Amino acid sequence: MLNVKVHNLNLKNPVMTASGTFGYGEEFSDFIDLERLGAFIVKGTTGTHREGNPYPRMVETPSGMLNAVGLQNGGVEKFCSTVYPRIQHLDTNIIVNVSGSSIDEYCTVAEQVNELDRVPAIELNISCPNVKKGGMGFGTDPAMASQVVTAVRKVYHKTLIVKLTPNVTSIAEIAKAVEGAGADSVSLINTLLGAAIDVEHRRPYLSTITGGLSGPAVKPVAVRMVWQVAHAVKIPVIGLGGIMSASDALEFMMAGATAVQVGTANFIDPSVTMKIIDGMEEYCHRHGIKDINEIIGIV
């Protein structure tokens, strides 16, 4: 009833977890059955080890939070040699979020992840607002976005999802560019660039001054963008941004998303993804829906 398909990926249900909010999945194994997830997307992985930005890296804002983690991770080799062996047995789709600051770096990571049997897809993060070089730079210009996707497409042979940034004038234009360059799917949105200032201490809350906004505050923007992109491209769209409940998730699907990702909500309730899956099932029963695909893009 909840099965969906994103390119070649068969998902038990449309619920995935968002990169950077779910660690390597293991952090949540006391709270949920990871194998019930449609897919989970691991932390942003780069060519080499990264320390990320200095502390403080987060601040809560109305109905959301700003983060400036800056892609802290052990690098792709460490992922393949130490993390992958620990999680590869899981019976769900494990997707690696591939990040970088040059086309070469994206390609190196994608090439190495291509060798991992139990990783059927990558999510190419051309939208991180928290790194100085690259990251969002690639995702804000259609020509550059197309260039990096074309290059990765040559070395990566499984499902290629490209994650888009909302920090652009026309997200549909970027989506069309990456579709043209060979992306199999797009996911959106990454965080919205924001800032917050501590007026008592007269200083920014984040070491980097600006950071990425996530959580319920961004949801209407995300739903609007998913709707626009779903009308602009033919490849499946994965929707995210502020999803806290099954009805939020269904909202994205009606706007045109084939699957959804849950991010910040995991921090508030580590078992939220299970509740969202249960809630979707319950919705289908209540509305006499036999196949969740019936509601995709009905708006």
Partner 1 sequence: MKEIHDFTIVCRRQLGDQYFSLVLQHQGTMPAVCPGQFVEVLVDDCREVMLRRPISVHDVDAEKNTLSLLVQIVGKGTRRLATLQCGDKLNLVYPLGHGFSTNIASDSRVLMVGGGAGIAPLLYLSKVLSSKHIRPTILLGGRTASLIPVRSEFEPYGSVGIATDDGSMGYRGIVTQHPDFGKEYDIIYSCGPTPMMKAVAKSAAQRGIRCEVSLENMMACGLGACLCCVTDTDEGHKCVCKEGPVFDISVMKKWYE
Ligand X SMILES: Cc1cc2nc3c(=O)[nH]c(=O)nc-3n(C[C@H](O)[C@H](O)[C@H](O)COP(=O)(O)O)c2cc1C
Binding residues (CB under 8 A) for partner 1: these are 20-23, 27-28, 30-31, 43, 51-52, 54-60, 62-65, 67, 69, 72, 215-216, 264, 266-271
* Start-to-end CA span in the chain (Å): 20
Given ligand X, partner 1, none, residue 243, with its beta carbon under 5 to 8 Å by kind, binds: ligand X
**Can you tell me which residue has the tokens 């690259």?**
134
Cα dihedral sign for 125, 277, 233, 216? negative
DSSP conformational letter for 75: -
Dihedrals phi, psi of 126, to nearest 5 degrees: -105, 35
Element (H, E) at 173: helix 171-180
Given ligand X, partner 1, none, residue 27, with its beta carbon under 5 to 8 Å by kind, binds: partner 1
Residues 80-139 within binding reach of ligand X (CB under 6 A): 97, 125, 128
Q: Smallest distance from the beta carbon of 266 to partner 1, in angstroms?
A: 7
Between CA 191 and CA 130 the distance in angstroms is 10
Q: Of the listed pieces 17-25, 102-110, 175-183, 227-235, which binds ligand X according to CB under 6 A?
A: 17-25
What positions carry a catalytic annotation? 128
In a 13 Å sphere around the CA of 280, the CA atoms on its Cβ side amount to 35
**Can you tell me which residue has the tokens 């038990």?**
12
CB contact at 8 A, 201 and 224:
no
Written as six digits, the tokens of 117 are 């049997």
Local structure of 244: helix, strand or coil? coil
Given ligand X, partner 1, none, residue 299, with its beta carbon under 5 to 8 Å by kind, binds: none
Residues 154-173 within binding reach of ligand X (CB under 6 A): 163
Nearer to partner 1, 54 or 170 (CB): 54
Site string for ligand X, 219-258 (x = CB under 6 A): ---------------------xxxx---------------
Given partner 1, ligand X, none, residue 52, with its beta carbon under 5 to 8 Å by kind, binds: partner 1
Given ligand X, partner 1, none, residue 218, with its beta carbon under 5 to 8 Å by kind, binds: ligand X
Q: Smallest distance from the beta carbon of 84 to ligand X, in angstroms?
A: 17
CB contact at 8 A, 162 and 190:
no
CB contact at 8 A, 15 and 277:
yes
Q: Smallest distance from the beta carbon of 268 to partner 1, in angstroms?
A: 6
Nearer to partner 1, 211 or 239 (CB): 211
* Binding residue count for ligand X, defined by CB under 6 A: 26
**Number of helices (H), then strands (E), in the chain:** 10, 16
Residues that bind ligand X in the complex, under the rule CB under 6 A: 18-21, 43-44, 67, 69, 71, 97, 125, 128, 163, 190-191, 214-215, 218, 240-243, 262-265
